[in-house]
Every structure is written in C-alpha cells, then in structure tokens.
Amino acid sequence: MSTILEVKKLALDLPERERAALAANLLDSLPGILSDDDEGVAEALRRDAEIEADPNQTISLAELDSHIQGRRL
C-alpha cells in the first residue's frame, strides 16, 4: 500500500474533531489559491455586490436542484 493511502486510512480512522484539526492544518500548509490580484476574487466581489443590490435574483438550493434535475431528463 502506498504511503498516501496509508495516511488516508489512518486519517479517516480518527475521530471527527481530530480529522477536522488535521484537515485545517493541512490546508493551512498550502499556499493560498486566490489573492487580491486574482480575477476570481474580483468576480466573487462583483457577484456579491449584484446579490446585495437585488436579492430577488437568487434561487434556493431546492430550486437549483430542480433546475439540474430538469436538465438531466
């Protein structure tokens, strides 16, 4: 068994609180994906402003699920 699979198995056997702490530590060890210069941040801020300006344009999770199911048929 490869080391990564062994580590994964050991991690999944941890209690939930310890898995969460491990996951947080691993994520903190990675470089940030988005930065203030990233276009993704600007897009997220633009979309947030749109929703703040007109909350009626949002849909619920149930509505989203319904749209997705409709496309699959």
Domain ranges of the chain: 1-30, 39-72
pTM for the predicted model, two decimal places = 0.43
How many angstroms separate the Cα of 50 from the Cα of each of 38, 42, 62, 63?
Answer: 19, 12, 21, 19
DSSP assignment, residue 58? -
**Backbone dihedral angles phi then psi of residue 41, each to the nearest 5 degrees:** -65, -45
Tell me the per-residue pLDDT of 12-34, one tens digit each, with 9 for 90 and over. Answer: 999 999 999 999 999 888 877 65
Tell me the per-residue pLDDT of 54-68, one tens digit each, with 9 for 90 and over. Answer: 989 899 999 999 999
